[in-house]
A and B are shown apart, each in its own frame.
Chain A
Amino acid sequence: MLRLHMTLRKIISFIPPEYKEQEKWHLKIITDRCKGCLFCINFCPTELLESSPEINSKGYHPPKIKDDMDMDDCAKCGFCELICPEFSIFLEKEEDTTGAKK
């Protein structure tokens, strides 16, 4: 599975940048709201997230992106935002400040 994943990423890295998605998306989190219910981790369609070893101010482990994955693997479905009971994690499009090509 991991090998297939790395192969796919190699293929993607050969695509010239002008054909790549221009929009940049970020996963953001308000750490202190998280109560560690694991909903976002278990029901992510691409299994992007895992529990972080660090703890927040309430003593829960907030989610983090897996070490071998990054935001290119995110499906941008926003299901984590919808199902998060604490209004903690959300998906946000980066504001276009650099004047990138359209």
Chain B
Amino acid sequence: MTISEEKVDDTILEAKRHPMDYLLRWDRLPHVWCSGCGLGSVLSCFIHAIAESGIDTKKIVVVSGIGCTGRASGYLDLDVFHTTHGRAIPFAIGLKLANPELKVIVFSGDGDLFAIGGNHIIHAARRNADITVICSNNFIYGMTGGQLAPTTPMGAWTSTSPYGNVEPNFNLCHLVASAGAIYVARWTSLNARRLQASMVEAIKKKGFSFIEVIPPCPTTFGRRNDYEEGIKMLEFFRENTIIRHGIDPGDAELNLGNKIVVGKFVDKEDKPTLSDHIARIQLFAKRR
């Protein structure tokens, strides 16, 4: 009576191509990231955001550094640039200054952007360079085997801190906001819809916009900290995430015992960017 009267779809159909494959180098898939890693979700949100923003894909450049997240540029069928360790931001600023029409997006990890490239990001934020930075913070140096990173929370166990971390960690959003970024947001990879909307907003913003994403890392961080599966860490995010828009990012510390505070912290309008200053000075120099 109920089910068999009309033909219903009760199976998942097998397909050959994904609808977003036009933005991906699908011949390179499956990617290198572990089962349960959240970086694929972040990349998925990113390509959905690019599709939603409606920007011409010929004008988008994605720059990435070294690390697990740095591999993302190899899977995107856009103009991509896989740069040296920590130097993604200088390359991105150079691209933007050479061709101001481009939309330059830096997609890299916390170790690349804040450990070896720490100076570059604060000075890019100070200059208000017209780039978007998407930083995935998995609390650890993932690719090299789980060493202690500047973002590792206090008390976390890593391969180089076998009795727990004794150093306080960076609050990335607070650092970037203090240096002068005009858009600062933090999301976990489970807030996929909000993350996608935030990425669209950040990409369309004129000036230095920064998004911190927290994906699960089951293999190197989770294994030593009781989150040995990605799904377990996502369940933790689901129960312990609170959304606070517009608060001072200094209050949004990432500690092991506390709740994870996410949201859009800073959203400023109309601050002159580095490209504006350069264009003005070029005009001045030509007139003389």
Interface set of A (CB-CB < 8 Å, partner B): 6, 9-10, 13, 24, 26-33, 35-39, 42-43, 58, 60, 63-65, 67, 69-72, 79, 81-90, 92
Asked if A65 meets B12 with Cβ closer than 8 Å, knowing A43-B190, A86-B30, A87-B18, the reply is: yes
Number of interface residues of B (CB under 8 A): 45
| Contact (Cβ within 8 A) B41 A85 | yes
A82: chain B residues within 8 A (beta carbon) = 41, 44-45, 48, 192-193, 196
Other than the given A83-B189, A87-B24, 13 more pairs (CB < 8 A) read A26-B13, A29-B12, A33-B30, A37-B35, A67-B10, A70-B9, A81-B44, A82-B45, A86-B29, A86-B30, A87-B20, A87-B40, A90-B15
B235: chain A residues within 8 A (beta carbon) = 42
Q: Which of B11, B18, B24, B33 is the one whose CB lies under 8 Å from A85? A: B33
Residue of B at shortest CB range from A38?
B231
Nearest-Cβ distance from residue B203 to partner chain A, whole angstroms: 17
- As a 0/1 sequence over residues 229 to 255 of chain B, the CB contacts with chain A under 8 angstroms (1 = contact) are 011001100000000000000000000
Complex CA–CA separation, A24 to B9 (angstroms): 10
Complex CA–CA separation, A15 to B12 (angstroms): 25
| Contact (Cβ within 8 A) A29 B19 | no
B234: chain A residues within 8 A (beta carbon) = 39, 42-43
B37: chain A residues within 8 A (beta carbon) = 37, 85
Q: List 23 A-B contacts (CB under 8 A).
A: A26-B9, A28-B15, A29-B12, A30-B16, A35-B35, A37-B37, A37-B230, A39-B41, A39-B234, A58-B30, A60-B35, A63-B12, A65-B12, A67-B10, A72-B8, A82-B48, A83-B190, A85-B41, A86-B30, A86-B31, A87-B18, A90-B15, A90-B19
* Docked complex: B42-64 residues within 8 A CB-CB of A: 43-45, 48
- As a 0/1 sequence over residues 1 to 31 of chain B, the CB contacts with chain A under 8 angstroms (1 = contact) are 1110100111111111111110010100111
Q: Which of A9, A32, A43 is the one whose CB lies under 8 Å from B3? A: A9
Complex CA–CA separation, A83 to B135 (angstroms): 18
Complex CA–CA separation, A33 to B17 (angstroms): 11
A69: chain B residues within 8 A (beta carbon) = 10
B222: chain A residues within 8 A (beta carbon) = none
B40: chain A residues within 8 A (beta carbon) = 84-87
Closest 6 pairs between A and B when the two form their complex, measured CB to CB? A85-B40, A28-B15, A35-B35, A70-B10, A71-B9, A70-B8
A36: chain B residues within 8 A (beta carbon) = 35
* Docked complex: B209-239 residues within 8 A CB-CB of A: 230-231, 234-235
Nearest-Cβ distance from residue A91 to partner chain B, whole angstroms: 9
| Contact (Cβ within 8 A) A28 B196 | no
| Contact (Cβ within 8 A) B3 A29 | no
Residue of A at shortest CB range from B37?
A85
Complex CA–CA separation, A17 to B195 (angstroms): 38
Nearest-Cβ distance from residue B142 to partner chain A, whole angstroms: 14
Complex CA–CA separation, A83 to B8 (angstroms): 26
Complex CA–CA separation, A79 to B69 (angstroms): 22
